[in-house]
Structures are given as structure tokens and as C-alpha cells.
Structure 1
Amino acid sequence: MTKNKIPEILLVGLPNSGKSTLINALTKSKTSIIGSTPNTTRDKVTKTLTHENKKIINISDLPGFLENPEMSNINYQKNIDKFMSDADKIFFVIDVKTNDISGLDSIFKLLSKSNSMKNVITIFNKCEDFDTNNLDKRFYKYIGESYYFVSAYHKLGLENLLSYLESLSVAQLKSEEFVTSLTIIGRPNAGKSTLFNSLLNNERSTVSDVPGTTRDKITEELNINDRNYSIIDTAGVPRKKQKDQIDRYSSQLAVSSLENAHIALVVVDSTEGVSFEDKRILKASIEENVTPLLILNKWDKLNTEQRDALNSSVKKDLKQHKWISLIRISALSKKNITLISKQLDLIEQQLATRISTSELNTHFRSLWTKNPPHPFRGKRAKLKYVTQYSTFPPEFAFTLSGRIPKNYEAFIENYIRDMFKMNTISFRIKINA
């Protein structure tokens, strides 16, 4: 049983055996990136499957196993024994049409070594036009506790597999603890995965000098400051449009990770400075009301003159958003990485701020009297009332008798930042006129 008490099913197999297609078909979502080329998946990717009876189970997709792994697979294959020992059951996914017996034997040896096949369920995939009576006799030894014939792509034979998964699932745990969600985002090779691993204090994400090594969206639990976080490592978001469809989809997943995040760790390669794409990521984060924390990584590679130039450039770039926090670190050497946890603590405190309706109205009625908005199209708006309707992030609703100019909305935002000490976070102001 995994540490969060949800059973875990682990999918293992050769590259292009259909593991990612299978997990997507079972969870009815694009959990894993799929493609016609082998080794599209490069890290462990986990999705929680929820049945109609609300019972849940985790299904984890692993990269295809290689006898002679590429650089991007070496780190994953170092951890494969741990992944298998942590899992409750293992799905050994086999393409019924494969001729790579040597590769299957290598996986079989790993499985036999770790648990003697007692927790292995063999999934024969791509069986849409296959007579099960013609199964290659060499495959018989790979059959574990039980086996299934399916076609993940055509969604054939999944009913029995889903019934089996349901039998292993558990009732969803009711947790009263609120968990802050972090996402690490930035351009390729900025050091996102290195930062992810440094924060977790283990080599969870595959890292290399090759831009675009990370493709999958990887989620883990992080505990710092005696607080629990959900942290996501994402693929790089390049400026130029990728020709490769898989890389393009990976970038879309990275940007979409902002939708469910509270705080975005926007990682910038200090040796390259803040680019147009970095500014676009910051803008997208603010528009989603996700608080950005700008991380200038590889700071140790700059000399004094270069640091002064970058500081001056960043100050100019953030002129409209001076409230954005900035931290200079080296993720590889972990220098200054503790500053991130301190800043996260401050940001969380501000995200949790709740201001009473009476206090808000007292402040803003006084403000409206002393510094009323300019008339909009000949009519000056009056304040009816203001209220805060949520936290994480804080959201405020102003009910007015008419519209107000954009610059007065900015004035209200700055007033809230100064008066209520929300000077490091994103928050939403909704104008009802």
C-alpha cells in the first residue's frame, strides 16, 4: 500500500507496447502523452482512477524499459526497482505482435527478482484483430497471477480489467487538510527538473543538458516548513512553435498546469536572462490568478557585472508587477534554495488572508470619499458595497452604480496590497456595475 493509503497499479513493458494508451483509456483522460515513436513517456506519471461508486486507485505509467537505455531513460531505470517494490500490483503490458523476446526476458527477470511474479497481472495488448488461441507459446512464461487480452486503442476488453481494478480500489479518504498546489514552469533547460529534484531531495525527474528532456507532467508530495504541498514538474515552454507534435502537446500541458495551481515557480536561466517567453508565462500566471515566484536559476554562473545587468533588466521587466517575488539560486548546488521555502510561507499567509466585510466597506467608503473615481462616460460610479468571497487566492467583489476607469481598478488593487499587506500575491477584483 502506498504512503497515501491508495493502492497503486504500476504499468511496465517495452517501448511502444501501448502502456500510455492503456492508462489513458482506463482513466478516460490524457494522463500520459502518446505517440507513434517509442519512448514518448520519459518519467513515472500517476493518475487516480475514480469509479462510479467513488472508490479510487492510482495507476502509474512508466517509460518503456530498454536493455540499453538512452541518456533520458538512465535515471528512470535506476529507480525501477523502487517503483516496483512500492506498487501493490504490476501490469506487465505486452504487445502480442512483438518479436522482442530478449527485451521481454529482461523485464521478466526484473519482475521475478522483485516479487516472483506473484503481484504481476499480464496484459496482452493490441488484440483488436488477434485470435487468443494463437498466442505465441514463448509468452506463456510471462503470465503472472492472471492475464487479460485487450486493445487499449480500440477500447476492447477493458470492462473486465476495470472490474478487477474496482475490486482493488478503496473508499476515498476524507481529508480536512488543505494542500497548496505548486507548479514549476519555464523555458527548456532552465533547470526546472533540477529544482524539482532539489526540493524533493531525490532524483524524481530525469535531468540532462538536452533541452526538452521532461515531457510528462510529474506530480509529487512535498513537505517543507512542516507544510504539505502538491508540486508539479512540467515540460519546457519554448518561444518558437515546435515542429514535433509531442513536444507541442507537452508545452500545452505545462501552461495548462497553471489552471489548478496556487503558486507558480517560474524558473529562468540567469545566463540567458528574462526572455519574451518568460514574460508570457508570468502574464499567463497572473491572468489565472496564480501567484508567480520568479526563480533566477544558475545565479552562480554569473560574475558581478552580469548580475548587476540582470538585476537592472529584471527590475525594468517587472515595472508593472513590482509585487512579484524574486529569488536567486543555484538548483544544482542547492545554494539559496531555503529562501524558496521561506517565501512560500509568506505567500501562503497572504493567500489565506480573510478581511471582514465591515472592515472592507469602512476602508473603501472612506477611500471613495477622499479619492473618488473619475466619471466614466459622464457618470461617476458610487460604491454600494464590497466583500471578499474567497481565499487562495483572495477574491473581492465591488458592487457599483456604474463603471469605473481602468486606472482606478489599478488604484484599488494597489490600495489592497498596501493596506492589507497582500504585496506578494495575485488576487482577483471583480467589478459588478
Structure 2
Amino acid sequence: LFLIDAQADISKDDAAVAELLRSAPERVILVANKVDNESIAEDLAGFWRLGLGEPHPISAVHGVGVADVLDLVVNRFPDVEEEDRKDDSPRTLAIIGRPNVGKSTLLNNLLGEDRVVVSPIGGTTRDPIDAPVEIDGISYTLIDTAGIRRAPKVGEDAEFYSILRAKEVLRDADVALLLIDALEGVTHQDQRIAEEAAESGAGLVVILNKWDAIDTEEREWTEDGVADRFGFVDWAPVLRISALTGSRLKRLGPAVERVLVNRASRIPTGELNRLITAWTQAHPAPVRKGRRPRILYAVQAGTEPPTIILFVSGGELGEDYLRFIENRLRERFDFEGSPIRLIARRKNRRPR
């Protein structure tokens, strides 16, 4: 980024730097700062003489035009994620959930073989399970978290080990398949594991297993429990299957692919900032500790999961307002199955 003063003439130093940069003009973005009004913006033609292409107007003080410049910068970055996937390495699916909810049964069904011994006693699978599998013609690596269990000592909580197993595999997972026993409904332990999945950044698909074993009234009760206890991950698709018979299992492949696509989504910086400006003007952030925070601009810094940085002046943005921004983003864009990370950064004033 070559920054020039839009309110001053081209200096000898400007010309000297421009001469050095002209050897690779395609790698240079000419940025004219201090464009604080329309009259200055209309008087930038003279900067074309630098031979570095169009001067892009901004006002660093007011944050005007910064989002458009950030868009130009991001668009010129090499697509590292696509390069990383050129080896066609399969995406990783982690089967997570409480003991004895049908994780090993699901794994066996997807593999088409009895790779794991299935028992009504929870935690019988002890060896780590890491297997290649094809779903709808697409290759994945499937991990069954039942294989990471270790025998608890007397007095130790089994819930602790369920969550520990989930943490271990979620580190490398692209999508987590959270199995819920539809007969028992959503438990506190299921909530804890879902929290770990959301915090890990992996995509999430909630699977209500043993669906064919419950009647209409029980199904309504189970679905009410999902809506009530999984409100914090209401963005995750919910499938209703039978891991034992394979009923409705054909819906898993399309759901996983949709989540992978959404998790890699990117919002153009200009559009992102226009939307956030409109939302914050309609519903300003609440005053905290006597100061009202103001979002100056935003940029999506990464994908998998989508990560958006909000540059803020004034007070601090509370979790409730970040949730408000996330909800507006989900209403506007398809992020089904993917968490969104919103990071608020305070913009400190430079010393004069």
C-alpha cells in the first residue's frame, strides 16, 4: 500500500518512491488519505501521474473507504486454502457424543463393515478409530470418538471423559457429527459436547439417532428438547436417522457438503461494511461503562470457520451485541452448519 496525502501536491519523496514501485505496479495499491469531503475526492486526477494506477480515496480518521481498500488487498492474496487442498486430502468428519448413543453403529454403517464392536455397555470401544469412508462418492476420513475413551477411576465423572474425547478429535475435524439418543432426548452432557464443537470452529451437524424407535409424541418431545437446549447452535442442521438400519442416512452426505461449503464462505469487505453500518445505525450498540462503542469497519480475516474482525472505537462491544451482529449475518448469508467467529478489536488513538 503506497499512502499519499490527498490534500497536498506530489512531493519529491512521493515521486521517488513511485519510481521504485513502478517496476511491479501490479503489486501496488495507491491509497490517497485525508479525503474528508467530496471536493477532495473529485480532485485526485493529478495522482495518476505517479504511474501506479487509480488512486483509491480513504479517510483513515473517519474510516471512510478503508473497507474498499481492504477488499482490494484480500482479492490480491493468493488463495492459500485452495492451494492447501490441491492434494485432494479428504476432509475429516468426527463422530462425537455421549457413550452408547450409537457412534460405533453409525461408523460401521458408513463403512459397510463391522469395524467396531457394538455393545449396549457404553465405552466398550477402546482403540482409536480413524477410517477412510466414501459418502455419495466423496472421500472422507471418519473418526469415532468412542475410541479415545480411557477407564475412569472410582469417583471420576464419565461426562468429563466424553468432553475430553470430543476436544481431542475436534482439533483436526472439518465437520462434527453430534449424535443424540432420540430415546433419551438432549441432556446436559450433550449441551457440553455441543459447546465444545462450536468453540472448536468445526462445522456441526446434529443427528437424532434411533428415530425409528420412538412414536409421534416422543418425537415432538425430543424436537422440543433440541430447540430448547441447543438454542446456542440453532444454526446447525438437524438430521433424524437410524444408525442401526440406515434409515434416512442418505441425507448425511448432502448435509455435510453444504456445511463444508458454508464454512469456507467469504463476504466481500465492501458489502460487509455497508451491512454492518446499516445495522448499527438502526440498532446502535448499548452504552457500556459510560461509553458507546462504534464499529469503524470490519474485515473477514479468514474462513473455516468464517472469522470477522470488528475494529471498534469508544466502549467495548458486549457479547449480546456480537450475537446481534452474528444473527444479522446469518439472516443475510447462508452459514448453516458453520460457526462464525466475531473478534472485536479496540482502535487506539495515535499519540499526537
TM-score by length of 2: 0.67
For structure 2, list consecutive stretches of 5 or more residues without a partner in the other structure.
Answer: 1-83, 347-352
TM-aligned CA deviation for residue 397 of structure 1? 0.8
**Inter-partner Cα distance in structure 1 for 2:106 and 2:85:** 31
For structure 1, list consecutive stretches of 5 or more residues without a partner in the other structure.
Answer: 1-172
Counterpart in 2 of 1:373?
285
Between the aligned residues of both structures, percent identity stands at: 34
- Sort the Cα spacing of 1:344 and 1:257 in 2 relative to 1 into closer, same or farther, 3 A: same
Structure 1 residues 340-361: Cα deviation after superposition (integer angstroms, max 9, x where no partner): 1121121112112111212211
Report the residue type matching 1:192 in the other structure: K
Counterpart in 1 of 2:259?
347
Counterpart in 2 of 1:184?
95
Structure 1 residues 76-95: Cα deviation after superposition (integer angstroms, max 9, x where no partner): xxxxxxxxxxxxxxxxxxxx
Match for 1:219 among 130, 144, 165? Answer: 130
Match for 1:286 among 198, 202, 206? Answer: 198
**Inter-partner Cα distance in structure 2 for 1:356 and 1:257:** 32
Match for 2:308 among 379, 383, 396? Answer: 396
Counterpart in 2 of 1:408?
321
**Inter-partner Cα distance in structure 2 for 1:244 and 1:174:** 45
Is the partner of 1:273 in helix, strand or coil?
coil
Structure 1 residues 370-413: Cα deviation after superposition (integer angstroms, max 9, x where no partner): 22211221212222221112111111111111311221111011
Kept in 2, the 8 Å contact 1:382–1:400? The answer is yes
Counterpart in 1 of 2:333?
420
Match for 1:243 among 142, 154, 157? Answer: 154
The number of equivalent residue pairs is: 259
Counterpart in 2 of 1:166?
none
TM-aligned CA deviation for residue 424 of structure 1? 2.9
Counterpart in 2 of 1:271?
183
Where do 1:292-307 residues align within 5 Å? 292-307=204-219
Structure 1 residues 141-174: Cα deviation after superposition (integer angstroms, max 9, x where no partner): xxxxxxxxxxxxxxxxxxxxxxxxxxxxxxxx99
Q: Does 1:199 align with 2:110?
A: yes
Is the partner of 2:308 in helix, strand or coil?
strand
> Relative contact order: is structure 1 or structure 2 higher (C-alpha 8 Å, sep ≥ 6)?
2
Counterpart in 1 of 2:3?
none
**Inter-partner Cα distance in structure 2 for 1:364 and 1:284:** 28
- Sort the Cα spacing of 1:193 and 1:333 in 2 relative to 1 into closer, same or farther, 3 A: same
TM-score by length of 1: 0.55
Structure 1 residues 33-64: Cα deviation after superposition (integer angstroms, max 9, x where no partner): xxxxxxxxxxxxxxxxxxxxxxxxxxxxxxxx
**Inter-partner Cα distance in structure 2 for 1:252 and 1:268:** 17
Is the partner of 2:146 in helix, strand or coil?
coil
**Inter-partner Cα distance in structure 1 for 2:153 and 2:280:** 50
Counterpart in 2 of 1:326?
238
Report the residue type matching 1:221 in the other structure: P
Counterpart in 2 of 1:39?
none
Kept in 1, the 8 Å contact 2:263–2:337? The answer is no
TM-aligned CA deviation for residue 253 of structure 1? 3.6
Q: Does 1:232 align with 2:143?
A: yes
Report the residue type matching 1:387 in the other structure: V
